[in-house]
Amino acid sequence: MTFKSLMNSILFTEIAQGLKVTFRHFFKKKLTVQYPHEKLTLADGYRGFIVHRRYDNGQERCVGCDLCEAICPAKAIRVVGDIHPEFPERRYAKEYTLDFTRCIFCGFCVVACPVNALSMTKEFAHSSFTREGLIYPKDKLLALGDRCEDESIAYLKVRNMWDAEDSGKEEGRYHFPPIPTT
Amino acid sequence: MAKVTINGIEVDVDPSMTILKAAEKAGIPVPTFCYHPRMDPAGSCRICAVELEDSKKVVMSCVTPVADGMRVLTESPKIHEARKTNLELLLLHHPLDCPVCDCGGECPLQNMSFAYGATESRFESHRNDEPEDMKSDVLVFNANRCILCGKCVRICDEVQDVHAIGFINRGFDTIIGPPLGKKLDCEFCGDCLEVCPTGAITDHFVRYKYRPWQLEKQQTTCSYCPSGCQMFVETENEAIVRVTSQEGVGPNEGSICVVGRFGFNHVQIPERFDTPYMRSLHRLVPSSWEEVLPEIASGLNAIRKKGVDRIAGLISTRVPMEDAYVFQSFFRKILHSNMIDTGARYSFMNAALPIVAATGTLRPLVDHEDILKAKVILVVGADPVSESNITGLFVKRAARKERSRLYVVDSEAISLSSRAKDHIRVLPGGEQIFLEVLSEEIRQSGNLGAEWISRKEELFKNWNVDPSAYQRLLADLRSCETGIIVAGRKLFQLETPVAGVESLLKITGDLGWIDRPGCGLFVLPEASNDLGVLMMGASHEWLPGLMDSRDPASRGRWEETWGSRLAYGPGGGLEEILKGIDEGKINALISLGENPIGHFPPGSRVREILSKLDMIVSIDMFQNELSDMAHFVLPASSAYERSGHLVSAEGFVQAIKPTMAYWGESLPDWQILDRLSHAMGSPMGVDSAESVMSEILRFLPDLAPSSRNGSHFVGGTGEIRLATPVASADGCAYGEMVHEGNGLSTKFVSPAHKANRESVSSRYAQWREGIKEEPASPYRSIAGEGEFVLELTKSLFHSGKMTLMDSNLKKIQPEGKLRINRQTARKRKIKKGERVSLRTAYGVCSFIVEPSPAVSEFELTFPVHFANAEVLALFAPGLDFSSGTGAPVTHRIRVSLDSQNAN
Ligand code: SF4
Ligand code: SF4
Ligand code: SF4
Ligand code: SF4
Ligand code: SF4
Ligand code: FES
């Protein structure tokens, strides 16, 4: 042991060096957010919980096409298509379940959806005491969609999936078969 | 031969071939929409464009014949451009429906659009917005998605010969549909649905319920009729979603009928038995295999001890061969009983017995390909289209495309009648008289006395036979190179069926058809496996291989082969079984999918007789009259769940494969019997359906699986290898036994050919001696003044009674209607949908009428599937087994019509 190291041990130099950083941060601006009392602003492209969307007239958009089920890499979606009970010419999702315990929030399903029935929101804090609580049926997804409509539109816009809606052309809206405007 | 170079590959082809076929031969795929191998080319879709290298011209490969030295390019920038432009035009009005279109995922148009990148159109137009035609109960036409390739129209015309749909309007407004905007009224085969390259045709049953990529596909054999169609059952999560066919696969070549395509729903409904039931305090209560099997076994053991032939067995002829084989060995080896019979007894047995007696085989001497080649076809007492749909299609094709001369002898106008050169419309039941006269005239060839001739004329007058048509038929039969007689259900259900079949045998023999290739008799069995179940010896007459069960020699051979004693008694069929039960000589009945009560009029005491039994075991899928009185009901697996082999009308041995898991606790019949034998303490030790099949093949090697696309079946059913310990070539004409691995297996060295054409021999006469005499005057049912003959016929839309449980088929034909001649109805002021009542000496029953031009004025027809106790009450009560083969006779009766009863 050299003299220098002996002195270092006696005078706790190393600890002082370490604490220097700590003391410096005493006087800096705080970064910690006091969640849940405080929340950060999330970007529009944030891939939070997935929701189901409706047309302006309240009609649910999903046509039960199964494309989201087909693309989902985590096999989190199950769609059961059927004839719409009121409009026999229309297809709809008789059952739609999204298993958020499996979902990896990749956003593929939103891209696959031809009618913009899916979008992602800034919701992320949906917890549950059971697994079943995280398996969302269609009505739950729609309710969430109603609550977070602005977020879902913002997501689609920032991810370039809103053009067709805005194009004004009837074709761009992908209504299968044309949905009454009432 | 023409030499053609396609993409640099040289092929030698027939100069009549099109470029498309030549490319196919060279192994080069060319995209097509409107081309279909079984139909005339149309050249309407323009996607199959190819470039001729020399002239730089773009031609349609499906309609352009090859020329010698032609050099063709199937892919080139020019072709790419042509196809892309073409797609842009096809998509001009096409809706953006892919996500909801049932075709999406298996759509050739979609695939082509991806392949050629036709995502944007240079042309401006509107999207078609025609409302869908949903009037039909089965098919939905979406004109917007249609590319007007015309395949649907052509298959309906050229293959089905039904002409139900066509092009409506012209130009951009052209749509596909039934004429005059009516509701589609056709055979609902669904072939148009199958061939449509887009989602323009869909069906109500599965519309929007699936995506093609979710489905698992399994090829299997349809188990309804004896055509033996190869079909693809597509399932999702162990539930059948749809049934499809594939072009060129199986004897059906890609067509399947309405029953096969849509009749799959009954196997997945809650009404199906899903667990064993046991009677307790007069009620059937759900139970378990562990509980019921020992109960049944102890009951059977007790009865078995009493003596031979104490337990009776009935088996349906829709079960695979394997099950029939296990069934008969269970009865003969374990239960010591030969009191067994099959569902064929009601009809097909009437043909099988004389034919086997005469020729020694149940193998038909001709198949559908021979029908196509036949110069003369006589259809007598059969409606091939509804009895064995594919046979019907082949007869239609022969008459239409091959120009065979088709004669129909039937009281009713069947769908083949319009294609017939002559339709001889005898009075109901007159088919047999007709055949008798015909056979006599052929036999005597000109040496007929004046007396006979005047009798003939009188008979013809009485039975409404057109003598000139008869003469034409006679001349054609005598002079033709190849001829085929198709006979079916109606002929076998005459009051004296043996006489009818005998006439047929005489005719084929006397015309020298037995030895002439491509000639002969094509009999239509009633159910999918009549032939297989009989070949397996499930009826009391025969041991497996159609060997006489009462002949000690054949019994001895099987005993030696099986290494177990067959201690059965003389046995008997349905007639003897019912009699035995009545007399208390039979104490138990095991029924595999059969319900004798439903076949007899309510007054016939069958129920009363059966109630004398100590034990009834009903192995079935659904509740019926027998299961209602059974002591044990065991759930059977359906043909969609088990594996096995069926023998088609043509004699092809084809596999049925499991497409979904066993329903509930249900088990296949062989397994139920095997478990029962274990419970009884005399195990049969059957491992699997496959092991049964390999046992069958060891003894009856000519039952090796076969189909038209593979090899033909080999040998007659007479080729039996019982207890033959030879290892070297045994000089057999059909093959040789070789050692392969450890076992003895058969290898066929000689070329595969059809059944041996053994001549109609004295064996027949001997058999004829042995059977009971049929009543001398069989014509009980000729209609008197103001009377009709009521006949129970087979409907195209149902098969047996089981399909009445099928929601899809019930939607197509929900109820049985009494068909009456249109003129007669008009005369008697009976309108469609009204109720009339029919009266016989035995009962009265009311029916909804449907006037039809197909029925003759002496006749009323009613679909047999809907013939419940009320309808059967019209028939003579009592057990009428007067036919020579011991078949019950209840299919035709004289009735008087009471239209006053209309309400
Ligand atoms: S975000 Fe990805 S993982 Fe989640 S449901 Fe959609 S496709 Fe599936
Ligand atoms: S992709 Fe869209 S329309 Fe299709 S099933 Fe999924 S959510 Fe519904
Ligand atoms: S027919 Fe084919 S291309 Fe047309 S909408 Fe249906 S899937 Fe798409
Ligand atoms: S309905 Fe289908 S098969 Fe018929 S013409 Fe149109 S695209 Fe072709
Ligand atoms: S019922 Fe007969 S014709 Fe119809 S699909 Fe089945 S085997 Fe084929
Ligand atoms: S396939 Fe040749 S034109 Fe349609």
Structure ipTM: 0.82
Q: Within 10 A of B112 (CB to CB), how many other CB atoms are there?
A: 22
Q: How confident is the model at residue A40 (pLDDT cuts 50, 70, 90)?
A: confident
Say which residue the tokens 């995280």 belong to.
A134
Report the CATH architecture of B351-524+760-770: 3-Layer(aba) Sandwich (3.40)
DSSP state of B156: I
On the question of pLDDT at B903 being above 70, the answer is no
Tell me which chain A residues have a C-beta less than 8 angstroms from the C-beta of B96: 171, 174, 176
Q: How confident is the model at residue A178 (pLDDT cuts 50, 70, 90)?
A: low
Tell me, what's the pLDDT at B752? 30
Across the interface, whether the CB atoms of A83 and B96 are under 8 A apart is answered no
Record: contact A64-B208, CB cut-off 8 A? yes
Q: Which of B47, B198, B210 to mutate to test the pocket of ligand 3 (most atoms within 8 A of CB)?
A: B198
Looking at residue B234, what is its pLDDT?
Answer: 96
- Given an 8 Å threshold on Cβ–Cβ distance, is B207 in contact with A66? no
Q: Tell me the C-alpha to C-alpha distance, in Å, between residue A147 and each of A122, A143, B339.
A: 11, 6, 74
Distance B22 CA to ligand 6 centre (A): 15
- How far is the centre of ligand 1, averaged over its atoms, from the C-alpha of A46 (Å)? 14
> How does residue B716 score in pLDDT terms, banded at 50, 70 and 90?
very low
d(CA B546, CA B324): 13
CA distance, residue A133 to nearest chain B CA (Å): 24
- What is the bridge-based pairing of β-strands A77-83 and A91-99? antiparallel
Please check whether residue B661 touches A, CB under 8 A.
no
Structure tokens at B697: 């093949």
Asked if the Cβ–Cβ distance from A115 to B99 is below 8 Å, we say yes
Among B100, B132, B214, select the one facing A65 at the smallest CB separation: B100
Which is the closest atom of ligand 6 to the Cα of B60? 2
Amino acid at B174: T
pLDDT at B394: 94
Check whether A109 has a pLDDT greater than 60: yes
What are the backbone angles phi and psi of residue B378, rounded to the nearest 5°? Answer: -115, 120
User: Is 50 exceeded by the pLDDT of residue B757?
Assistant: no
User: A182 to chain B, minimum CA–CA distance in Å?
Assistant: 19
Q: By the CB < 8 Å criterion, does A70 face chain B?
A: yes
Q: Are B234 and B216 in contact (CB under 8 A)?
A: yes
Interface of A with B in 13-42 (CB under 8 A): none
Q: What is the mean pLDDT of residues B699-728?
A: 59
Q: Rounded to 10 degrees, what is the CA torsion of B376, B379, B380, B381?
A: 180
Interchain contact A64–B (C-beta under 8 A): yes
Mean pLDDT of chain A: 87
Pick the atom of ligand 5 nearest to B221's CA.
7
pLDDT band at B301 (very low <50, low <70, confident <90, very high): very high
- Best of A61, A62, A67, A115 to substitute, by most chain B Cβ atoms within 10 angstroms, is A67
- Rounded to the nearest angstrom, the minimum Cα separation between A170 and chain B is 10
Q: How buried is residue B519: exposed, middle or buried, by Cβ count under 10 Å (0-12/13-18/19+)?
A: buried
Q: Whose CA is nearest to atom 4 of ligand 2?
A: A65
Provide the pLDDT for residue B708: 67
pLDDT in tens, B864-902: 999 888 888 888 887 878 777 778 776 778 888 876 544
Q: Is A81–B213 a contact, with Cβ atoms under 8 angstroms apart?
A: no
- Please answer whether residues B251 and B368 qualify as being in contact, where contact means their C-beta atoms are separated by less than 8 angstroms: yes
Chain A residues with CB-CB distance to B208 below 8 A: 64, 81-83, 91-92
Query: Smallest CA–CA separation between A140 and chain B, in Å?
Result: 23
Residues within a 6 A CB radius of ligand 2: A 62-68, 79, 93, 112-113, 115, 117-118
- Tell me the average pLDDT across B521-531: 92
pTM, two decimals, is 0.90
- Closest Cα in chain B, distance from residue A175 (Å): 9
pLDDT digits (tens, 9 = 90+) for B404-415: 999 999 988 898
Chain B residues inside the 8 Å CB shell of A67: 99
pLDDT value, residue B111: 92
The share of chain B scoring above pLDDT 70, in percent, equals: 92
Asked if residues B897 and B851 have their Cβ atoms less than 8 Å apart, the reply is no
Type of residue numbered B361: T
User: Would you identify the CATH topology of the domain B787-902?
Assistant: Barwin-like endoglucanases (2.40.40)
What band does B732 get if pLDDT is binned at 50, 70 and 90?
very low
Nearest chain B residue to A69 by CA: give it.
B214
pLDDT per position as a tens digit, B798-842? 998 889 999 999 999 999 999 999 998 998 888 899 999 998 888
Tell me the CA–centroid distance for residue B383 and ligand 5, in Å: 14
For domain A50-166, the CATH class is alpha beta
Q: Which residues contact B255 (CB under 8 A, 6 or more apart)?
A: B159, B160, B189, B191, B229, B245, B389, B390, B393
**Average pLDDT value for chain B:** 87
Task: Tell me the average pLDDT across B715-728.
Answer: 48
Interface list for B 192-211 with A (CB within 8 A): 207-211
Residue B328 beta carbon below 6 angstroms from any ligand 5 atom: no
Domain positions in chain B are 2-75, 283-343+533-648+665-703, 351-524+760-770, 787-902
Most A CBs within 10 A among B93, B94, B100, hence the mutation to make, goes to B100
Identify the CATH class of B2-75: alpha beta
Report yes or no: B96 at the A interface, CB cutoff 8 Å: yes
Question: Which residue from B195, B196, B202 has its CB within 8 A of the most atoms of ligand 4, so it is best to mutate?
Answer: B196
Q: Which residues contact A26 (CB under 8 A, 6 or more apart)?
A: none
Which of B213-222, B717-726, B773-782, B808-817 is least confident? B717-726
What is the arithmetic mean of pLDDT over B776-800? 77
3-state secondary structure B191-208: HHHHHCCCCCEEECCCCC
| Closest CA to ligand 4's atom 7 | B146
Which of A70, A88, A91 faces B100 most closely, judged by CB atoms?
Answer: A91
Dist CA B392 CA B385 (whole Å): 4
Provide mean pLDDT across the span A129-153: 94
Beta strands in B381-457 (DSSP E): 405-409, 422-424
Q: Dump pLDDT digits (tens) for B459-511.
A: 888 888 899 999 999 999 999 989 999 999 888 887 788 888 888 988 988 88
CA of B135 to the centre of ligand 2 (A): 28
Mutation pick for ligand 5 pocket among B249, B256, B528, B650 (CB with most ligand atoms within 8 Å): B256
User: CB under 8 Å to B287, separation ≥6 — which residues?
Assistant: B275, B276, B277, B278
pLDDT classification of B638: cutoffs 50, 70, 90: very high
| CA B218 / ligand 6 centre spacing (Å) | 30
Identify the H or E element spanning B387.
helix B384-387
Contact B99 A65 (CB under 8 A): yes
Distance of CA B778 from the midpoint of ligand 1 (Å): 75
How confident is the model over B25-52, as a mean pLDDT? 92
**pLDDT at site B781:** 54
Query: Mean pLDDT, to the nearest integer, of A41-49?
Result: 93
Q: Which of B96, B144, B208 to mutate to probe the A interface, most A CBs <10 Å? A: B208
Which residue(s) pair with B820 in the sheet?
Answer: B851, B860
Q: Confidence band (pLDDT; 50, 70, 90) for B13?
A: very high
- By DSSP bridging, strand B376-380 and strand B405-409 are parallel
pLDDT above 50 (res B769): yes
Residue B570 preceded by cis peptide, ω within 30: no
For the beta sheet containing B483-487, the strands, ordered from the edge strand earlier in sequence to the opposite edge, are B422-424, B405-409, B376-380, B483-487, B520-523
Compare CB distances from B208 to A81, A114, A115 and report the shortest one's residue: A81
Q: In this complex, do A81 and B96 lie within 8 Å of one another by their Cβ atoms? A: no
Write the residue in B96, B209, B213 that is nearest to A81 by C-beta: B209
Mean pLDDT of B63-85: 92
Q: How far are the Cα atoms of A89, A94, A142 from residue A180, in angstroms, in the given order?
A: 13, 20, 20
Give the pLDDT band of residue B745 (cuts 50, 70, 90).
very low
The more confident residue out of B126 and B677 is: B677
Residues of B in contact with A174 (CB under 8 A): 96, 99
Has domain B283-343+533-648+665-703 been given CATH number 2.60.40.770?
no
Domain assignments of chain A as residue spans, ordered by start = 50-166
